[in-house]
Amino acid sequence: MTNRLLNAENLRAAYRTPDGKQVFAVDDISVYINEGEVLGVAGESGSGKSTLGAILSLTTRPPLYVESGTLEIDGKRQELGERSKIPRTWRGSVVSLLPQGAMNSISPTQRVRDLVFDVMRAHDRSIKRDEALDRARDRLKSLDLPVRVLDSYPHQLSGGMKQRTVTIISTLLNPRLLIADEPTSALDVSSQKALIDMLLQMLEQKIMSGVVFITHDLPVLRTVSDRIAIMYAGKIVEVGDAEEITERPRHPYAAALLSAVLVPEPRYREMRVFGIPGSPPNLLNPPSGCRFHPRCGVSYPECETEAPPHVGDELRFSKCFWAKKHPGESVPLKAVTSDRLEEADPIGHDPRPAESEQHDDMDGPAPAGRAEGREVSTGGVSA
């Protein structure tokens, strides 16, 4: 039996609004990861996936507060909550976060080697510069990357190279678990592939023992993950093997979401794809029972009143009444998707809070095309 790398149970975290309310971006989530596994976490805007990443990597900051939960990595257990004290050494060496947009927040006036030294020194005051750089050099070599990267300034590196560099730097301390938040969104397709290959290579070399890969891009997850978790409105609605989930999703939302993904495959030229009616709920006051029920075309009366049942085991499950009543069946897509734009994102009668009010991080499609789209506003050409 493979060892459990991560047991994270009953995680609950909320954003506290200035007027004292709590918005639970992650509401009672349990996540399990085995040694050597890549867990993909997918979700759209407001799903809470970035918040989950922050919790797991112990990097939550006000106004986000972890209210409760336990984190067990490699047998070391840690209670989470307002009063808990996280051992300083955990962050970076037990679990490390590769934040969204990391490659763009490197100081442009520093060479990469200075950044490496700063990062290592922040964790270990006594480390010498040579030691730190040697380590970085060895790491680069083992991953077939040019050592000259260390002497470069960020602007001299391409987007893909920058992201790989930042990935390496965030794993220099050999964390047991790496949380990567949208690492591929701003990259072009070839750089994405290079980064994914590198991550898998790192796993093989046991630089880290597990990866949580957070993104909205399902085809990327299919390529890189062993298992995929689909999040919706602060909850995990389905987890399963990458292939299982992609081909045979059991939760209506997961099924609808997957059916809406467009990939360059022949069948997509023949068919008409539909979207999901409704819009993600306001987490200030989430729907009762199953959070997806207002948008679900196969819901039952109990979906509105009771929490949906857990169908499956710890590592592979879906939380759905329909799934429970129809084991092994495919979700009827016609019932859960809609072709009508007015249903897709209806105007409510109260003005929606702009997404950023609910959470600091950028859940949802990080502007994948942003780098491309911003080519020539002022007459320059972007790299």
User: In the set 75, 109, 130, 381, which binds another protein (CB under 8 A)?
Assistant: 381
Residue with Cβ nearer another protein (67 or 343)? 343
Residue with Cβ nearer another protein (85 or 272)? 272
Site for another protein in 27-66 (CB under 8 A): 44-45, 62-63
Number of residues that bind another protein (CB under 8 A): 76
Any idea what DSSP says for residue 382?
A: -
Query: Which residue type occupies 62?
Result: P
Using only the alpha carbons of the chain, give its radius of gyration: 21
Site for another protein in 246-285 (CB under 8 A): 246-247, 256-258, 260-270, 272-276, 279
Is the distance from CB of 255 to CB of 237 less than 8 angstroms? no
User: In the set 36, 159, 294, 312, which binds another protein (CB under 8 A)?
Assistant: 159
Count how many residues are written for the chain: 383
Residue with Cβ nearer another protein (4 or 235)? 235
Nearest CA to 308 among 322, 296, 294, 297? 322
Q: Which strand (E) or helix (H) includes residue 71?
A: strand 64-73
CB of 133 to another protein, least distance (A): 28
Residue with Cβ nearer another protein (28 or 345)? 345
Q: What residues pair up with 42 in beta bridges, in sequence order?
A: 215, 230
Nearest CA to 54 among 185, 145, 215, 181? 181
DSSP secondary structure, 171-199, as one string: TTT--SEEEEESTTTTS-HHHHHHHHHHH
Residue with Cβ nearer another protein (81 or 369)? 369
| List of residues 6+ apart from 137 with CB closer than 8 A | 147, 150
Residue with Cβ nearer another protein (130 or 342)? 342
CB of 24 to another protein, least distance (A): 18
Residue with Cβ nearer another protein (138 or 247)? 247
**Any contact of residue 356 with another protein (CB under 8 A)?**
yes
CB of 245 to another protein, least distance (A): 11
- Mark 189-228 with x for binding to another protein (rule: CB under 8 A) and - for no binding: xx-xx--x-------------------xxxxx-xx-----
Q: Which strand (E) or helix (H) includes residue 235?
A: strand 235-241
CB of 233 to another protein, least distance (A): 13
**Interacting stretch for another protein, rule CB under 8 A, among 26-34, 125-133, 167-175, 345-353?**
345-353
Q: What residues pair up with 318 in beta bridges, in sequence order?
A: 238, 311
**Any contact of residue 379 with another protein (CB under 8 A)?**
yes
**Interacting stretch for another protein, rule CB under 8 A, among 149-157, 170-178, 182-190, 322-330?**
182-190
CB of 338 to another protein, least distance (A): 8
Site for another protein in 6-25 (CB under 8 A): 18
Site for another protein in 302-341 (CB under 8 A): 338-341
Q: What residues pair up with 65 in beta bridges, in sequence order?
A: 14
Residue with Cβ nearer another protein (175 or 252)? 252
Nearest CA to 54 among 167, 166, 182, 174? 182
Residue with Cβ nearer another protein (140 or 224)? 224
CB of 73 to another protein, least distance (A): 29
CB of 324 to another protein, least distance (A): 24
Q: Which strand (E) or helix (H) includes residue 37?
A: strand 37-42
Other C-beta atoms within 10 Å of 76: how many?
Answer: 11
Query: Which residue type occupies 222?
Result: R
Residue with Cβ nearer another protein (309 or 365)? 365
Report the C-alpha gap between 168 and 55 in whole angstroms.
21
**Any contact of residue 380 with another protein (CB under 8 A)?**
yes
Nearest CA to 249 among 235, 230, 264, 231? 230
CA 204 to each of CA 38, 143, 208, 347, 364: distance values in angstroms, whole numbers, following the listed order:
11, 11, 9, 48, 30
Is the distance from CB of 260 to CB of 271 less than 8 angstroms? no
